[in-house]
Structure 1
Amino acid sequence: MSSPNETGLPEGWEVRRSNTKNLPYYFHPETKDSRWEPPVGTDPDKLKAYMANKHSSTRLPNPASFEVPEGKIRAAHLLVKHRDSRRPASWREAKITRSSAEAMEIIKDYESKIQKGETTLSELATTESDCSSARKGGDLGFFGKGDMQKEFEDAAFNLEKGAVSGIVSTASGLHLIQRLE
């Protein structure tokens, strides 16, 4: 178990790994409370550093090791939430208070860095995405038509393999999407 000083979590909370989703989550053994988002009182900078070092994986599966399911694509994304998002909380922040304009500035900066080749979507998603898929470099796995929000789905299905979308707005927040398969 890691100390609160290392994880940034409030006293009594720890990071565990889900057996079913193989993703980290937050657990308080005394109260038996568990959640995907960090508890109130978390230090987001310490948690971000801890999760990047201990619980993230930017390694994507070898494409030769599986077949693409018919009618499905595989994509990764980087999500920036704002206070008007349908769930204004994430693994990085228990309560997201930034405005949609502030979120737009943040994601424009990420988009610029990716376009300039300074970083990849997967690298940025690992530490900056407000989605739990950050632990997998933003990889959402395979999905078909009707599985995602319409705006997200339309953008993802219209991308060529390897391409990164422009900024896509959904009820969840602002996304950059990369089609993987």
Structure 2
Amino acid sequence: MSDPTGLPEGWEVRHSNSKNLPYYFSAATKESRWEPPAGTDTEKLKVYMATNHSGPAGIAGLPAEGKIRCAHLLVKHRDSRRPSSWRESVITRSKEEAIEILRGHEQRIKSGEVRLGDLAVSESDCSSARKKGDLGFFGHGEMQKEFEDAAFALKPGEISPIVESASGVHLIERYVDRPEDWLQPHRN
């Protein structure tokens, strides 16, 4: 009998309590990841998730009413509320330098050279970098006000101008609001 999840052999769907999102785990390698592993039958996985991981909001990890899903690229500076990251233990750049760095990233993204999520993996000062900047679903009151206001002002698929918050400076991308996008890595 084939695996009803559509995942390759040895992989299973688990649920992150901290993010309230499903993730994929390989018992053999102990690898966990937010995106389905290579070789996944995505059509089978969609059916499995809809059937087995649904709750009041529908499929687990899909939005409750009034929530959106975004990714971001964060560049911290010395005046950020926590001027350190997984990339640098002590961040000494000025806010102006952080904005200049982010402007360079913004130009590369807008030119189509690179996607925000792909750049976030190596350049974002947020721990969400390992998930291509994906912050999951959030509603009003769950993020810093400046970030929230900018994110909710975006149309699905749009990328914000530079946004300043207590954390640093950000580019924010609102994900497209289609169920098939929620179960797969984001694509432009």
Which of 124, 132, 135 lines up with 1:129 in the alignment? 124
- The alpha-carbon deviation at position 59 of structure 1 amounts to 4.0
Q: Is it true that 1:93 corresponds to 2:85 in the alignment?
A: no
Which of 99, 102, 111 lines up with 1:104 in the alignment? 99
Which of 147, 151, 176 lines up with 2:146 in the alignment? 151
Contact 1:57 1:126 in 2 (8 A): no
How many residues end up aligned between the 2 structures? 130
Alignment of 1:74-89 (within 5 A): 74-89=69-84
- C-alpha change, 1:136 and 1:152, in structure 2 (3 Å) is same
Partner of residue 6, structure 1? none
Per-residue Cα deviation, 1:12-57 (whole angstroms, up to 9, x for no partner): xxxxxxx8769xxxxxxxxxxxxxxxxxxxxxxxxxxxxxxxx996
Partner of residue 142, structure 1? 137
- C-alpha change, 1:105 and 1:56, in structure 2 (3 Å) is farther
Q: State how far apart, in whole Å, the 1-side matches of 2:74 and 2:36 are.
A: 18
TM-score, normalised via structure 1 length: 0.65
Q: 1:87 is aligned with what amino acid?
A: R
Partner of residue 54, structure 2? none
- C-alpha change, 1:110 and 1:154, in structure 2 (3 Å) is same
Per-residue Cα deviation, 1:32-88 (whole angstroms, up to 9, x for no partner): xxxxxxxxxxxxxxxxxxxxxxx99684898x6544211111100000000000000
Contact 1:56 1:126 in 2 (8 A): no
Q: State how far apart, in whole Å, the 2-side matches of 1:171 and 1:108 are.
A: 18
Q: State how far apart, in whole Å, the 2-side matches of 1:129 and 1:164 are.
A: 15
| Structure having the higher Rg | 2
- The alpha-carbon deviation at position 98 of structure 1 amounts to 0.6
Consecutive unaligned residues of structure 2, counting only runs of 5 or more, are 1-15, 20-30, 50-58, 178-188
SS in 2 for 1:79: strand
Q: What percent of counterpart residues are identical?
A: 60
- C-alpha change, 1:84 and 1:56, in structure 2 (3 Å) is farther
- C-alpha change, 1:71 and 1:124, in structure 2 (3 Å) is same
